[in-house]
Structure 1
Amino acid sequence: MDNGGSSIPDEEWERFLREAEAGTAGAPEEPSARARMVSQRLREETGPPEPWRGHQPPRRRGRGWYVVGLLLVVALFVVALKPDLVTGWFGSGEDDTPLTAESVRPSAPPATEAALQRPTPEDPFRGSPAARWADGAAGITLPKARAAGWMSEQQVARALDDSLAFLVDAGVDLGVLRGERPEKAIAALNPKQADTKAFLASAFDSPSRKNNPLLLFSRFDPSYARLAGDVVRTRGRITYREGERGAVEVTADVTFVYPLVRAAGGGEDVARTVVRREIVMSWDDPSKVITEPGTFTLLSYKVDSANGGCDNDTGYFVPTFDEGTGAGEGPPVDPYDRSTTVDELTRGRGDAECGTYTRT
């Protein structure tokens, strides 16, 4: 008879039941469940039991730790020779969180902690505040449209969109950046405006300091430099108000950052040209000003460029690919500083076209 794993003769078991029923003192007790489990385990185990705190010989260490140590030494040697490689593994250390749109003039220039990070063809905005800026039109903030002057709310919205399109056609379009004539941007200019006609007549064929296409359009000589990739970073905003004779006066203040490599290819050198433009456009009431539909009158335009070529009348920006940022006249200025106007940025420079810039 098998009772829960305990082996007890039948006679003993029957005697146990009789004595238990009669309440006989000293009757045998049924083994507990734990006792039966221990008895069963002891019967099933083979070999002597393992002694408590018995001695075990130490395990022999394999060669794995020596291999790990050797790899660590090699890695430290690589870090010493090319620290930029490790930066690439773990990130540049820069804060690459995209900035929110610029709705008002900032109160201070951007930080300079990351300026020592060198740009590469794969990461051309590295070490620049533009690493956190948006691409192209996305970096230029448009205000909410409301009725102003002779325009309804819908007409103001259209004027703002067309103003933004002009900025993109003039400063971001890849064909224009390669030196092509900015036909779409030119089409937005009022053809009846006499000084604009004179400007356009000579700006591209015989550029000069007075009629320099770089005042409005960004261009690079394709035989000298080309864009590193196809992205231009921008930051700025557009505002508007009612102007003279009921016109809607739109003001754009935008900084463009162009990463460039040599046209010939090869090499790891990346240069950046930083261009800040302030342009005031007047969307005139056609009943009061002679104009063409869908065009605006240029009221003013100002430009300041860093690493674009000093006293340059070639019609193209001419960046340098060395360490310097260009030594001109006046106190050093940060071309990324949007906390001040272009006039204030260039103050102290006199008639010189070129300033001294702290970085690009």
Structure 2
Amino acid sequence: MGDPREPPEGAPDGGSGSDDEYRSVVFDESFVRAARIQELSARERLASSFGRATRPRIRLGPLGTVPRQALALLLLILLAFSAAVYFGISTPNRQTARPEGSQLTVSLVALSPASAVHAVADPAAPFAALPPGYSDGAIGLGTPAGAATEHFSKIEVTKALDTVQRYLVASSLAPTTLIQGATAEVRAFVTPGEQAHFDASVAHPVDDRHHALTGWLVRFDPAQVALAADSVKVAGAMRIDEADSTTLQITTDHTFVYALKAAGAPSGAPVTVETVRRQLTFQFDRLDLASAQLRLVDSVLQAGPAPCGSSLAGYVQPLLAGADGTPAAGAQPIDPGNHARPAWQVCGVLAGS
């Protein structure tokens, strides 16, 4: 009996029946002859390489090639560095931080009368006895023309002088400040770094050489006195200087003469002349100039007739007509109209005008 795995007609010529299981995966001769094998030439292989997924590079001569993204980043860094150098050179005097804190030093000097205080001869002309040199209000401030300093232009100096003049008008001449207790107009001139210091002086004035309100402005207690004339007589001058290459400094020295009477007194009541000398030092950086604000760093106030024992921190305390003075033992006569002498003194005796 034959092998049951062989077909009935027998195995094909030249092969065994066991090769049938590979017949499905063996290519016949006609398939092999039909297959075409192609090998790329050298030129074709080079041309196909340009289609590869690679990042574009930029040739920099002898430096080789650099990716385009890296070159863009390098250019951005160079631009940022150039801008930093430019602004650093073009603004050499720019300050990184503005001065803050308690910068003002205040000296208060009461000038006691040597004898009883006398009223002026004519209440309608309270300033008739003043010596020459006094003018009405802002005219008497003697604001000079601006002139360039070593590090500040004429325009900058002129702006500083204008700010100082307006501050002196607001703090020494305005009736709202002198007798009505207003402080906002004066505060608006104070640089932000000193405003907290100013506010503390308003809220709790004390003669501790830093927080006397009368270091910032002149004011009288409205419960005690009133203005007897609309005008205030002024004499004095201003000096321009530099504290350093970034700080403009202006020093003012003025004598203000006020006509006063008792609060609630009728027209024609006795009038007393009160003399107040203010010697102030202001400083400006370029930010202060741009904002039309100032830093008051030193203030000396002489006021008389005023009792030596009273505090001048909150109000100037004038002695009105008929009051007796109590000068301190050994006190020297001081003329608040004499600007040739330093303003800082101990309690003295009112002399001169």
TM-score above 0.5, yes or no: yes
Residue segments in structure 2 that go unaligned for 5+ positions in a row: 1-116
Deviation of residue 263 (structure 1)? 1.4
Amino acid at match of 1:174: P
**What is the match of residue 357 of structure 1?**
350
Amino acid at match of 1:284: D
Which of these residues, 100, 104, 120, is aligned with residue 122 of structure 2?
120
Alignment of 1:141-156 (within 5 A): 141-156=142-157
What count of residue pairs does the alignment treat as equivalent?
231
Alignment of 1:161-240 (within 5 A): 161-193=162-194, 197-198=196-197, 200-210=198-208, 211-240=211-240
Amino acid at match of 1:239: R
| 2:286 aligned with 1:285 | yes
Amino acid at match of 1:356: V
CA distance in 2, matches of 1:325, 1:233: 25
CA distance in 1, matches of 2:321, 2:137: 26
Q: Contact 1:169–1:182 at 8 Å: present in 2 too?
A: no
Alignment of 1:325-336 (within 5 A): 326-329=325-328, 330-336=331-337
Deviation of residue 313 (structure 1)? 4.7
CA distance in 1, matches of 2:258, 2:337: 13
Which of these residues, 303, 306, 315, is aligned with residue 304 of structure 2?
306
Q: Contact 2:156–2:289 at 8 Å: present in 1 too?
A: no
SS in 2 for 1:278: strand
Q: Contact 1:190–1:291 at 8 Å: present in 2 too?
A: no
Deviation of residue 257 (structure 1)? 0.6
**What is the match of residue 261 of structure 1?**
261
Identical-residue share of aligned pairs (%): 24
Q: Contact 1:222–1:263 at 8 Å: present in 2 too?
A: yes
RMSD: 2.6
Q: Contact 2:137–2:232 at 8 Å: present in 1 too?
A: yes
- What do the CA deviations read for 1:48-87 (whole angstroms, capped 9, x no partner)? xxxxxxxxxxxxxxxxxxxxxxxxxxxxxxxxxxxxxxxx
CA distance in 1, matches of 2:175, 2:121: 21
Alignment of 1:1-20 (within 5 A): none
Amino acid at match of 1:203: S
Give the alignment's TM-score, normalised by structure 1: 0.58
Larger relative contact order (C-alpha < 8 A, sep ≥ 6)?
Answer: 2
Deviation of residue 214 (structure 1)? 1.2
> For the structure 1 residues 150 and 185, does the alpha-carbon distance in structure 2 shift closer, same or farther, using more than 3 Å as the test?
farther
Q: Contact 2:160–2:289 at 8 Å: present in 1 too?
A: no
CA distance in 2, matches of 1:260, 1:334: 19
Q: Contact 1:303–1:342 at 8 Å: present in 2 too?
A: yes
Deviation of residue 143 (structure 1)? 2.1
**What is the match of residue 277 of structure 2?**
276
Deviation of residue 337 (structure 1)? 2.0
Deviating more after overlay: 152-161 vs 317-326 = 317-326
Give the alignment's TM-score, normalised by structure 2: 0.59
